[in-house]
Chains A and B, each alone.
Chain A
């Protein structure tokens, strides 16, 4: 260890993170993707809902940077629109599901007894039912309604594994002196949960939220691919890929850009998550690159 004495923990983590070039690459890629998704549309004169009736199924050109679709829509504008939606859904879902996991896991671990048993049984139940199946079954109920409902469902069925990790951490934290001291001072259990237990595992929660972004984007695009997720007129990378797949061989531009951006997004997020995990816990020796 070459780190000097007296460096704050945040600075230490930052320094370790910076040392991982590949994680840094992931971070740069995410920043680039977010900027591209939200600022990119203004660079082109085409809107995602506009149709160019003089250009059906044209390959990429100076007019249409990513080409056009069967009905003359601009693929560049549509792809960026889809990327926006997938990114927003991914981040929102990850934040909600990690928050839920933190509360459920910490409550189960801290209260123990029947609370623990009931909550963990519920976790087991949701793990037996693949979330893809449940959300697909429920898809008719949110069709024609806001996509935020879809986010709530995605988050509602993706918090279980993180909750188990949080529960395990809580079990070991609650024996520590500072929690004991707070208990003896008569601090309410809810305050102990939110002020003492959860902040002490914030790094794990941040890492898990990052990793969950990738999972959420994959789940969203998978469901949207079959028409069970984002509904027209909204587009996401999943619906775009579904449309492009049929003509992937003959009109590759309908498929290459949305597919490539999806892979890049998920890859970047998982590299950052992995880099963060290594930076916070250098002993984990996880899949270091």
Chain B
């Protein structure tokens, strides 16, 4: 088991290194930081532009591999280079990482939990009103991209706030700046800011996991071993939960690894639209600002997160499926 996980880890580690390098190289070739400095009025002399670019390791006249070597050499020591505004990328990264991780963690945990619950109930009560409602609802939710859902949520929140006469939901930022009050007031304020962005991510996740869990569960429910378990005296509920659910969860673990990349993309929209200063927002802003080092750093963050999700999925499969452990 340890050996199996170690091998998987090594495989993922190489993937992350290659993915990050690819991210840096693509960004360095595609983005044009020179235009940030040249576009000023009056036009600065070329030598001063070059000097500025050289200081940031962004000069496109330096061979791309040399630039990459400088950047990669820094990354090994925890230095991700300078952003285009001459700020260290790493300090910005640490600040923003927490924001994104909070959103992603809550998104995947709540989405996974409620999705699996919904899918299981749908499958057990197949062809009931609950099943039809949940399945159709999931299809509709999956057809709504995050950036549309976010706006719809905002409109709904605005109407609820108007109806209540007092702001219940907030939709900009993570908290009210300069809020005075007790610890409880601050927590409540954060919660009010938290609901809409989280919903914009979680609803799609619930729909996704719900549909797949329903399929997996339906496959399992018809199998002989559930009947055997009942025949030997287990109640149907116990048979389904102890023997059925466990088996149906195995494919879900694999889906989790795939879905995490999409969740990451969705979080980018959520952060940008609700004004959360996380990694996704940073990525969008950095691409528009030609900030190569920051873009490469976010790419690495994404690759590491997909790696962690993949490892967790492998671990879950190994725990749920004894055949994997022994092989």
Q: Which residues does A use to contact B, with CB under 8 Å?
A: 22, 124-125, 127-134, 136-141, 161, 214, 218, 221-222, 225-228, 241-242, 245, 248-249, 255, 259, 262-267, 270-271, 274, 284-289
Contacts and interface: CB of A to CB of B under 8 A. Distances in A.
Contacts of B30: 137-141
B284 to A, nearest CB: 6
A285 B219 contact: yes
Interface string B246-263: 000000000000100110
A216 to B, nearest CB: 12
Interface SS of B by simple majority: helix
Interface of B: 11-12, 15-16, 18-19, 22-23, 26-27, 29-32, 132, 135-136, 138-140, 142-148, 151, 154-155, 158, 211, 214-215, 218-219, 222, 258, 261-262, 264-265, 268-269, 272-273, 283-284, 287-288, 295, 298-299, 302-303, 306-307, 310
A128 B303 contact: yes
Contact of A249 (B135, B136, B158): B158
Nearest to A288: B135
B47 to A, nearest CB: 25
Contact of B140 (A124, A125, A127, A267): A267
A186 B302 CA distance: 47
A130 B136 CA distance: 28
Given A248-B155, A263-B148, A129 B19 contact: yes
Given A241-B148, A248-B155, A136 B143 contact: no
B80 to A, nearest CB: 16
A93 to B, nearest CB: 16
A136 B214 CA distance: 34
10 closest pairs, A vs B, by CB?
A: A267-B143, A266-B143, A132-B265, A130-B261, A128-B19, A285-B218, A129-B19, A128-B15, A128-B306, A141-B30
Given A130-B262, A289-B135, 18 more contacts: A124-B15, A128-B16, A128-B19, A128-B307, A129-B22, A129-B23, A133-B283, A137-B27, A137-B31, A225-B147, A226-B284, A242-B147, A245-B273, A259-B151, A262-B148, A267-B140, A285-B215, A287-B135
